[in-house]
Structure 1
Amino acid sequence: MPPNARTGTGVGAGRPRKPILAGAAVAGAALIAIPLLLTGTARDDGPPDSAKGLAAGGSDTVLNPTSAPAALDDYVAEKPSPSPKKAKATKSAPSKVAPPQPAAPATKSSPSGKTDSKPEAKPKPKPKTSPKPNWSTETVYAPSVLEVNQAWTTNRIRMVMQTDGNLVVYNEQRKPIWASMTFGPNHRAIFQPDGNLVIHNGEDRPIWASQTWGHEGAQLVLRADAKVVIVQNGGVIWST
């Protein structure tokens, strides 16, 4: 067939068709691309040096390559704390009502405004009464005589003729409660049968008398009330 002969479709028989050319171009491109892809995968183990510098300089989340490795404890997760449970409502015990306290006594306020906190004075206890002594009595019958330094006595009083001539009555405290006021040596007191009490001096002369003559049978009594009396039939006719 001649070079310029045309087929029935009007295309020359000596020239390749367009689809065939296109397929050949694609196959050539594939043959070129496969080695390039293989070389690219061999360098995918890490980013390029420029990328490493960029990441280390501008990112805050990238660790410093010179820093120490993290310890295991830094990554231990904390156990979640249990959520607080609602406290169960507890029944409150019935409160005890305290008995009413007695009111405190009111304190008196002083003119300066300060309260007087002194407690009220308690009444003093009454002193115990001592038992009354059992005083005795003494009865003198006539005739009876008291010489110097002699006496009629009870457990409470005594009537004594002193050396100075004075007839004196002393009580239980040895205090004089009566005296005849007759002074001189060698006096004596005589309770006569007529009921008269008479004091004689050293010359045997009467110098003092109770003026109770005429009462024969009278008695001289030293009583428990510290009195010296002359009585007749229960009646007092003379007393100190």
Structure 2
Amino acid sequence: MAAAVAAAPPSVTSATGVDTGRPRKPVLAGAAVVGAVLIAVPLLLAGGGNDDGRDPSRTVAAEDADTVLRQESAPAALDDYVAEKPSASPSKAKPTKSAAPVAAAPPPAPAAPQPSSSPTKTAKPKPKPKPKPKQTPQPNWSTETVSAVSVLEVNQAWTTNRIRMVMQTDGNLVVYNEKGKPIWASMTFGQNHRAIFQGDGNLVIHNAADRPIWASKSHGHDGAQLVLRADAKVVIVHNGRVVWST
């Protein structure tokens, strides 16, 4: 564009001060149109080159980038253009959730003693049970059976290992237990008395004159027996029935 403007012929000034080489107005108008056209054409060409929508500043930047092939760059080898099989798209592996760290449970706190509604009573020690006295073994008491007719004179007795029935010198018929204690007596006092167990089942005491002064009143039971039992009783038994007892 500058060359076109420089092409205009220079003006020549005469000695009289009249510019003999000054172009006319129509010539100037035509030159202006030509100049405008010359200015517009490069602009149109530059605009047409950018019709692909790219930014010219980006083009310049791309030329400076390493990705643009230049003549001075090394020629590509044949192996660089070998087609490769498309590899399967890597599956998106789900990220494994890391196990949350388990916090160790704190040891349980000791339970606080609950206040009791009533004051605690100290338990009294139970008294030791008193040892039971050992029972003395019961002796094997024996019995004695007297059949009729039997007579007890003074100082004579019917006896077992527990009791004895004795005619005393004072005329009294007495029964003593194993401890020597009198447990029964006829209360007949006198001299030279005797006791007779008769055949009719009657026990009679006679005095020195041979007269009856006491009787068991168990007569009429012929064949009866007088028994000194283990329970310290003296009985007269007839056919298994007791008809008299001390």
Query: Normalising by structure 1, what TM-score?
Result: 0.51
Q: Distance in 1 between matches of 2:208 and 2:227?
A: 26
Q: Distance in 1 between matches of 2:179 and 2:162?
A: 8
Query: Please, which runs of 5 or more residues in structure 2 have no aligned partner?
Result: 1-119
Q: Which residue of 2 aligns with 1:22?
A: none
Check if 1:121 corresponds to 2:127. Answer: yes
Q: Which residue of 1 aligns with 2:137?
A: 131
Q: Distance in 1 between matches of 2:210 and 2:160?
A: 28
Q: Distance in 1 between matches of 2:122 and 2:170?
A: 69
Structure 2 counterparts to residues 14-93 of structure 1, below 5 A = none
| SS state at 2:141 partner | coil
Q: Which residue of 2 aligns with 1:141?
A: 147
| SS state at 1:224 partner | coil
Structure 2 counterparts to residues 1-240 of structure 1, below 5 A = 107=122, 119-240=125-246
Aligned-residue offset at 1:131:
1.4
Q: Distance in 2 between matches of 1:217 and 1:132?
A: 33
Q: Distance in 2 between matches of 1:155 and 1:149?
A: 18
| SS state at 2:142 partner | coil
Give the aligned residue type for 2:130.
K
Give the aligned residue type for 1:146.
L
- CA deviations on 1:52-82 (whole Å, 9 max, x unpaired) are xxxxxxxxxxxxxxxxxxxxxxxxxxxxxxx
| SS state at 1:186 partner | coil
Q: Which residue of 2 aligns with 1:98?
A: none
Q: Distance in 1 between matches of 2:135 and 2:207?
A: 47
- CA deviations on 1:84-141 (whole Å, 9 max, x unpaired) are xxxxxxxxxxxxxxxxxxxxx9537xxxxxxxxx743211122222211100000000
Give the aligned residue type for 2:202.
N
- CA deviations on 1:24-56 (whole Å, 9 max, x unpaired) are xxxxxxxxxxxxxxxxxxxxxxxxxxxxxxxxx
Q: Distance in 2 between matches of 1:157 and 1:221?
A: 11
Q: Distance in 1 between matches of 2:122 and 2:235?
A: 62
Give the aligned residue type for 2:157.
A
Aligned-residue offset at 1:178:
0.3
Q: How many residues align?
A: 127
Query: Please, which runs of 5 or more residues in structure 1 have no aligned partner?
Result: 1-104, 109-117
| SS state at 1:202 partner | coil
| SS state at 2:196 partner | strand
State the percentage of identical aligned residues: 82
The two structures, once aligned, show a CA RMSD in angstroms of 1.5
Aligned-residue offset at 1:214:
1.0
Aligned-residue offset at 1:182:
0.2
Query: Normalising by structure 2, what TM-score?
Result: 0.50
Give the aligned residue type for 1:162.
Q
Q: Distance in 1 between matches of 2:189 and 2:135?
A: 42
Q: Distance in 2 between matches of 1:187 and 1:149?
A: 10
Q: Distance in 2 between matches of 1:120 and 1:197?
A: 60
